[in-house]
Amino acid sequence: MAKPFVIHTPKEIEKIRLAAQATAYVRDELVRRVCAGMSTLEVDQLAAALIAETGGRSAFLGYGGFPGHICISVNEEVVHGIGRADRILSCDDIVSIDVGVALDGGIGDSAFTFGLKEELPIAVEELLKYTQESLMAGIAAAVCGNYIADISRAIQTVAQNHNFGIVRDLVGHGCGTKLHEPPEVPNYVRGSRGIKLQPGMVLAIEPMLNLGTDKVVIDRFDKWTVRTRDKSLSAHFEHTVLITDNQPEILTWQKTM
Ligand code: MG
Ligand code: MG
Distance 92 CA to ligand 2 centre (A): 26
Residue 23 pLDDT: 98
Residue 2 pLDDT: 74
Domain membership of residue 42 (yes or no) is yes
Torsions phi, psi of 40, nearest 5?
-70, -20
Residue 9 pLDDT: 98
Domain membership of residue 257 (yes or no) is no
Domain count for the chain, please give it.
1
Domain membership of residue 54 (yes or no) is yes
Residues 6+ apart with CB under 8 A from 3: 182
Are the C-beta atoms of 176 and 106 separated by less than 8 Å? yes
Domain membership of residue 5 (yes or no) is no
Residue 126 pLDDT: 98
Strand spans (E) along 32-155 = 57-58, 71-74, 77-79, 94-103, 106-115
Distance 254 CA to ligand 2 centre (A): 17
Distance 179 CA to ligand 2 centre (A): 8
User: Which residue range is the domain that position 169 belongs to?
Assistant: 10-250
Shortest-distance ligand to the CA of residue 178:
2
Distance 124 CA to ligand 2 centre (A): 23
Rg (CA), the chain: 17
Domain membership of residue 255 (yes or no) is no
Residue 25 pLDDT: 98
Domain membership of residue 3 (yes or no) is no
Distance 80 CA to ligand 1 centre (A): 9
Chain segment 203-226, per-residue pLDDT in tens: 999 999 999 999 999 999 999 999
Residue 123 pLDDT: 98
Which three-class secondary structure state does DSSP give residue 104?
coil
Residue 3 pLDDT: 85
Are the C-beta atoms of 93 and 74 separated by less than 8 Å? yes
How would you write 174-197 as a 3-class SS string?
A: ECCCCCCEEEEECCCCCCCCCCEC
Residue 42 pLDDT: 98
Domain membership of residue 94 (yes or no) is yes
Domain membership of residue 179 (yes or no) is yes
Shortest-distance ligand to the CA of residue 26:
1
| Residue ranges in the chain modelled with pLDDT below 50 | none
CATH of the domain at 242: 3.90.230.10
Residue 257 pLDDT: 53
